[in-house]
Each structure stands twice: as C-alpha cells, then as structure tokens.
Structure 1
C-alpha cells in the first residue's frame, strides 16, 4: 500500500506541483481513504520527503544502469538526459520551484545528495571523454563538473527561464549542447552532431 501511495503521489506532484496537490486528491487517485494515507505518513511534509527520496533513488538507479553500459561519453550524457526527462516529465507545474519555496529543508537536503551523485557521475564522464579523445585534455574536470551542476540548477529556475517560454526538454537540449561544445574535441563535436540528428 505504501508503494502505491508513493507512486500516485509522485505522479500527482510532478503533474500538478508539491504545493498544489492535496492529501484528498492523493487519496482519491489511489482509491483509498485519506485516513489510510495517515496510517503511513503523519503529514504531507513527510510524504513529500519520501516521494523526493523515491524519485531520487529511481533516477540514481537508472543512471547507474546507463553508466554500466559503457557507451561513449556523449551518448551516455544524452541517455541520462532522456532518463531524467522520462522520470520528471516535461510538466508546466515547476515541481522543483514549489519544492524550493514550500519545502526548503527537503529541497536543500535533496540538492546536497544530487550534487554528490551528479558530481561523481560528471567527473567520471569527463575523465572517460578525455581518455577516449571526445573531450579536450586541457579542461579542468573538477571546475567543469561544478559549473555543469550549477547550470543544471539554473535552467530549472522558472524566473530565469519561464516554462511558458521554454519547455524543460528544450532547456536540457540547449544546455547539453552549450556544455559539450565548450569541452569537445573535433571527434567529440562529430559525435554530438550524430546525437542531435538522432533526436
């Protein structure tokens, strides 16, 4: 039952937003009473915390599976982008913005965990890209990894990039191109063009 509540809450939070969804709506969508939800979660904040952890774990597992395939670094980065978009959807509800505004402690905790995982993943991708001659040998890997994470946070800022003007999918595509064109060798740029043609 807990898993069912999590799945349904996750779907509603992504589609409508963390603040906008009520416990009544989650109960109704799950086909259970609100009282049943409160058997597992004492309040909405606790449910939001578990849903964000659930989403984070699901995405991390997916990223690990992609990395284990040992594809070339540019293909890998696009596969990870597709995984994230399929999990987070391309919604107009700006769930991250609502999480930051209404559940700042949960947002901060999630951000720290995301930075740890993403930094490790990006550093590995950069080092592999340098080794395989897709990325330039003169790049500062640690610096690029931090800039990459910082940029990822920025494109999710709805004040900077209003969702009425940019879909999240478009923003991710533009950002990946921006990132890769700054670090790629000729070989890397060729592979980037191949990836863009496949879209």
Structure 2
C-alpha cells in the first residue's frame, strides 16, 4: 500500500506540480481515504520528501543501467539525459520550481543528494572518456563535475530560461553539446557529431 501511494503521488507531483496536487487529489486518484494515506505519511511534506527521494532513487538506478551498457562516453551523456527526461515530465508545471519555492528545505536536501549522484556518474564517465581518448587528459575532474551539475541545474531556472523562449528538452541538449565541446578531443568531437547527425 505504501509503495502504491508513493508511486502514484510521485507521478502526480511531476505531472501537476508539488504545490498544485492536494492530499484529496491523491486519495481520489487512489480510490482511498486521506486517513489511509496519513497512516503512512503523517503530512503532505513527508509525502513530498518521500516522493522526491523515491524519484531520485529511481533515476539513480536507471543511470546505473545506462552505464552498464558500456556505451561510448560521449553518447552515454545523451542516453542518461534521455532516461532522466522520461522521469521528469512536468515541463509546463515546473515541479523543480514548485519544490524550490514551496518546500525549500526538501529542495535543498534533494539538491545535495542529486549532486552526489551526478558527481559519481559524471566522474566515472570522464575517467572512462579520458582513457578512451574522447576527453582531454588535462581535465580537472572535480571541477568539471561541478560545472556539469551547475549547468544542468542552471538551465532549469525559468527566470533565466523562460519557457516561452526555451524548451526544457532543447536546453538539456544544448547544454550537453556546449559542455562536451569544452572537454572533448578531436576523437570525442567526431563521436559527438556522429551522434547528433544520427539523432536528426
């Protein structure tokens, strides 16, 4: 029961926004009373916290599966981005913005957890890219991991990148293209160009 509540509420929060979805909405969707939900999650804040952690855990496991495919390091970046976008579907409702505005403590904790996940997978990707000759050998890995994280978080800022001018999907692609061109060797750039052409 608890898992069902968690999965349904996470889906609804991403679709309609953390602020917009009420406990009544979740109860109605599940066909149960709010009392049943409160038996597992005492407050909406606790449910938001659990849903955020559940989503991050799902994404983290999915990223691990992408990494297990042993793709070219350049291509791996885009495949991870595709997987993440499939799970963060609320471009119009901006769940990222709502979480930051209405649940700042949960948002702050989630950002720290996201950074740890990204630092690990990006660091491994860069190490493999250097070994394969796709990335430059002179890269400062901790610095590049942080730049990658700041960039991916930065393009979610609707004040800087308003939705009427920028598509969230296009922003992620543009950032990765920009980022990879800064760290790729000629070999890596060739793989990048081939991937972009194949995706058209």
For normalisation by structure 2, the TM-score amounts to 0.96
Aligned to 2:156: 156
* Alignment correspondent of 2:121: 121
Judge conservation of contact 2:100–2:107 (CA < 8 Å) in 1.
Answer: yes
- Does residue 94 (structure 1) correspond to residue 104 (structure 2)? The answer is no
Using the alignment, how far apart are the partners of 2:43 and 2:90 within structure 1? 28
Separation in structure 2 between the aligned mates of residue 24 and residue 67 of structure 1, nearest angstrom: 39
Aligned to 2:66: 66
* Cα RMSD (Å): 1.1
Work out whether 1:145 is the aligned partner of 2:138: no
Q: Does 1:43 align with 2:43?
A: yes
Partner of 1:112: 112
Q: Distance in 2 between matches of 1:160 and 1:109?
A: 23
Deviation at residue 63 of structure 1 after TM alignment: 0.7
Deviating 4+ runs (over 3 angstroms) = none
Q: Where in structure 2 are the equivalents of 1:4-43 lying within 5 Å?
A: 4-43=4-43
Q: Which residue matches 1:52?
A: 52
Structure 2 unmatched ranges of 5 or more? none
Q: Are the counterparts in 1 of residues 16 and 90 from structure 2 also a CA contact under 8 Å?
A: no
Runs (5+) with no aligned partner, structure 1: none
* Count of residue correspondences: 199
Q: Tell me if the contact between 1:90 and 1:168 (Cα under 8 Å) persists in the aligned partners.
A: no
Q: How far apart, in 2, do the equivalents of 1:171 and 1:27 lie?
A: 35
